[in-house]
Structure 1
């Protein structure tokens, strides 16, 4: 039953009254069955353009993309497919670039490289949203995003996330037949978020699910010495014990990857987990992330009680030689995830906070910052003394005060909204 609810999605030209209940939760401010606001920007030559010449005359397919979004680039391939499939006088395909901070030449250069690699022109209309006004007008929350509009000028579907060619087949049929189609998860193991699936629940409540496929692999790490197998994860000479540890580690990494992908789908990009010392020397040896509850992403996983937020649809795992491969497909309740994020007071707004340090030895502040990065899931990145932080200066002070490092006394003070002073002695 849950799966059937999650799979209900409207694509393209079909109209479905049941979607009205879920309208407020769409990944954009435009509403199904409502007029599309005026769309404009500049073309690849920097000239101002609009879609006034095709609005009300053609079916529109608008795809929002960025050169930094790998799924967006794959969706460009699908735009080429749509353009080749449908008559130019019936369907207008528009690629809307959202990289407002990049020079125009950077975007045109990227498109030339893309066409060179594909060996074919991307024969679609290009609009560049140079001042982000289009994103604001349409209320676009995350990309890739595809919006379709009927010849009557009404929005007929909003699809978030890259969709596999299987979904594109349904999308083509919807264009051909003007019918409702279903969206499903991508069968590729390397997939990220494939679709945000929405429907109206049995009692009329809004239901939001994301379907994700994640994959991890890990090699046995050890050597055969005079005394047999010398394992680095378990300090055991028993190869079977080492293999069990690898499987446990990969299982934890899969769940962390699932959480990161789900958070990214609702606009919160978490940092990657910190590196094991062996990784710094080019050796892939991660520890099991969920065994160390003091680690940043592990803490977040448990505070969200993430095990209760997703449902596993498929799992697969196998050993190939000394490498263990595993993958899983899961439905994540994104509505519940949003609620949990609010409950733990996780602020998705990002702040840049300067940290001023004082100590009798230089290594002490570095030790504090290192421990903070390791244990805080609110830190997105660190550059010199600037923390990119999910939260405000008061929350950062509280986290620093909660640190416990043997032999060090730590004091933190908020100087203003953008500055925190840390003393270590």
Structure 2
């Protein structure tokens, strides 16, 4: 009886954890006030070195690609090579990538290890209180938000879109 209860509890926990990770093919972007064409709300977070980073500091200078993710999300991990490629291809032309870890069951030490293991060259921010995730209406991950130099959202959805390079080239 105890064994059955333990297994049932484990299954429920697994379903809850997996449901937090979303597949772009399975779900559409959630309907929040942060739609394409709207001004992206400003935020301030710390990077993994403790430096303060604000979205406003990029306005009128750089387009920004924001990625909400977690180390335990398989879809997020699958996006890493694509994001690294975007960084390599477009950083010199001004694209800033802000990769925001949602901190759900992700201690800072694990995020730092993940960054080192995958040799991530772009800025990683740690949303310890999930304030930015809530501000951006993130209910599943990965979520991508592409913002032009004026601070206007050009794309928001689960994962990077197939035409991500087209969008980036248009706003550079």
Looking at structure 2, the residues matched to 27 and 65 of structure 1 have their Cα atoms a distance apart, in angstroms, of 16
Runs of 4+ residues deviating >6 angstroms = none
Q: What secondary structure is seen at the aligned counterpart in 2 of 1:96? A: strand
Q: CA deviation at 1:162?
A: 6.0
Find the counterpart in structure 2 of residue 59 from structure 1: 63
The answer as to whether partners of 1:145 and 1:161 remain within 8 angstroms in 2 is yes
Matched, 1:79 2:83: yes
Q: CA deviation at 1:90?
A: 2.1
Q: 1:125 to 1:68 in 2, by over 3 A?
A: same
Looking at structure 1, the residues matched to 106 and 123 of structure 2 have their Cα atoms a distance apart, in angstroms, of 19
Length-normalised TM-score, structure 1: 0.32
The answer as to whether partners of 2:40 and 2:147 remain within 8 angstroms in 1 is yes
Q: CA deviation at 1:31?
A: 2.0
Find the counterpart in structure 2 of residue 279 from structure 1: none
Q: 2:43 aligns with which of 18, 39, 44?
A: 39
Q: 1:28 to 1:61 in 2, by over 3 A?
A: farther
Looking at structure 2, the residues matched to 147 and 110 of structure 1 have their Cα atoms a distance apart, in angstroms, of 22
The answer as to whether partners of 2:127 and 2:133 remain within 8 angstroms in 1 is yes
**When you count helix as a share of all residues, which structure comes out higher?**
2
Looking at structure 2, the residues matched to 112 and 28 of structure 1 have their Cα atoms a distance apart, in angstroms, of 34
Find the counterpart in structure 1 of residue 147 from structure 2: 149
Count of matched residue pairs: 143
Aligned pairs (5 A) from 1:18-37: 26-27=29-30, 29=32, 30-37=34-41
Looking at structure 2, the residues matched to 148 and 83 of structure 1 have their Cα atoms a distance apart, in angstroms, of 13
Length-normalised TM-score, structure 2: 0.74
Find the counterpart in structure 1 of residue 165 from structure 2: 172
Q: Deviations over 1:145-165 (max 9, x none)?
A: 1100111111111121466xx
Q: What secondary structure is seen at the aligned counterpart in 2 of 1:75? A: helix
Unaligned runs of 5+ in 2: 1-27
